[in-house]
A and B are shown apart, each in its own frame.
Chain A
Amino acid sequence: MTTTSSTSRGGAMARVIIGRTFLWAWLLIGLVPLLFMLITSIKPAGIANQIPPAWIFQPTLDNYASVLSAGGGKSESFGQLLTNSAIVSLGATALAILVGVPAAYALTMRDFRARKGLSSWILSTYMFPPIVAVIPIFVFAGKLGLMDTYPALIIPYAAFNLPIVVWILRSSILQLPYEIQEAAMVDGASTWEVLRRIIWPLLVPSVATAAVLTIVLSWNEFLFALSLTRSGAKTAPVGLQQFTGMYGTDWGNITAAATLIVAPILVLMVVLRRQMVAGLTFGAVK
């Protein structure tokens, strides 16, 4: 961008207009792939991939009905894949919160010498590349007979989201006035009672943020789901890739399936926009 050294109102206006034009052009062009997905998914059979693209047609939900119903030469219905995704995401989230809350609490205890080192270690596991973990976990899962089961995805997903969960919760606890905890301890409350009665009720909003983030990131995961599932625990994003082989160019069905995967996540993310950005930056940006 060239900047004029004029401080005149005209120059400032021009800059604002250029900036806004760029912003809205980006936003609108960015919507094209999503529009394509949505429009194609409601096109009647036969015109979904017609060239030139059909813009005037009678919208239909047939594609959605078709992908959600079992049979039709498919090994499993897409509804089952979505269910698998939901079970794995919720399971991973429950596990991450269950182990993350006590850990976050421990990392705020004042007479816990190792808390800084441990906090840093947990944060640094965010760096751990999934591709490096996937081969050992593939071997472990095979040896333990967990291949193609829900736990084979739930445990890794919980682990890889723990740095975010623990850091969000830890900084929330640190922001609570310590005097409340102290007063309770003076009255003879145990650490467990302090966590249960005092910290937990105040922590619920942060737990919700951490939980939604973990759900979203687990729902979207692809590499582990691709490597560790075959059929029984297969998640929706992996199933979608095999659709292309199954349906060839039946784009109506493929885009309907894609929309079903994306829709719930879009809603969650847009509603909780600020919390999501804050969470994904470990609370560094609020």
Chain B
Amino acid sequence: MKATAAPLDATLTVDASRRAAGRTTVGARGRKPLTWKKRSTPWVYMAPAMVVLLLMTVAPTIFIFYSAFRNDKILGGVGKFVGLDNFIEAVTNASVQHAFLITFGFVAVAVILEMILGFALALPLAAQTRANKVGAALMLLPFAVTPAVAAMVFKQLLNPNYGWVGYYLGVFGFPKGIDLLGDPTSAWIVLVILDMWQWTPFIALILMAGLQSLPGEPREAAMVDGATPWQMFRHITFPAMVPFIAIAAVLRTIQAFKTFDSFKILTGGGPGESTEIINLGIFRVGLQSFNVGLACALGVVFLIILSLLIPFMLRIIGRRADPEEM
């Protein structure tokens, strides 16, 4: 497979020419009215997928909007309507506010660091050398590891009594038996490092594909004109890379908001509640304390916040991944 991504204006001209060509082909529309059967055909093909998606996304959404106004417990029989109580609790509770705050903080820090490092790795990786073929394969290894397994391996490495990290830090003169997960600050650093280890490769490989697909002529012209490397990067490479950067950033942001495994396994939200991001909070309230009403209210708030990302996703992914024009 070859990298095929033209700069935006080029895709537009391609689309325009395809549309013009499309007009000359015999279209089904506008000649004779479609029969009902013909018009219903696509819906028949769509139906099974729509049933699956309705069951797993729309039905749960309806459920959480309904349950958020009730005090149902999974184990405690039938609850009743309680109005806005759950939402008031969800918005005013200090530990909930803290959970939302650290979630945003984690997503922002992780995505920004991964984008910068991913770009720094993509630049040397984009050169088509034999070593880089091996490099790209090695790059993918951490990304391919099951996140729950990765978290557990990190936990063993950090074990204060038997872990490699503590031992080798000790060799270099750090205090013996250091427990990095026992302190909020170092626990956060570990969680961000684990996330970077797993996900920076994904970004690096997207940006690598982008760099490899850039046309060579502008760079050559700039070289002939005696542009400095910094000018080349600033005025040629970077602007052409913007669409790829946008794709990587949007996808990674969405995925980062779904982070659960690493926190659950490495710290379980601790020490105290210092690393209890909203995903862990909802899990604890809903599936461990069985307070469905409050968990659903939190879910509603979280869902509304995440919905704000949809337009970005549709614009950036939808437009670029779509052979027709959206």
Contacts and interface: CB of A to CB of B under 8 A. Distances in A.
A156 B162 CA distance: 39
Contacts of B296: 135-136
Interface in A172-220: 174-175, 178-179, 182, 191, 216, 219-220
B323 A135 contact: no
B64 A241 contact: no
Nearest to A124: B310
Interface residues of B, number: 117
B197 A106 contact: no
B53 A122 contact: yes
A284 B167 contact: no
B56 interface: yes
A131 B302 contact: yes
Given A126-B313, A171-B322, A27 B147 contact: no
Contacts, number: 326
A12 interface: yes
B240 interface: no
Contacts of B202: 277, 280
Given A1-B120, A115-B42, A286-B3, A160 B56 contact: yes
A249 B233 CA distance: 51
Given A52-B167, A102-B46, A275 B317 contact: no
B214 interface: no
A132 B303 contact: yes
- Chain A: number of interface residues, binned into ranges: 35 or more
A100 B124 CA distance: 38
B34 interface: yes
B140 A270 contact: yes
Interface of B: 1-5, 25-29, 34, 38-39, 41-46, 48-53, 55-57, 59-61, 63-64, 67, 74, 117, 120-121, 123-125, 135-150, 152-154, 156-157, 159, 161-162, 164, 167, 197, 201-202, 205-206, 209-210, 213, 226, 228-230, 233, 244, 247, 251, 254, 257-258, 260-261, 264-265, 278-279, 282-283, 286-287, 292, 295-296, 299, 302-303, 306-307, 309-310, 313-314, 316-318, 320-324, 326
Q: Top 8 closest A-B pairs, CB basis?
A: A159-B56, A103-B49, A19-B124, A106-B45, A269-B144, A136-B60, A136-B63, A99-B48
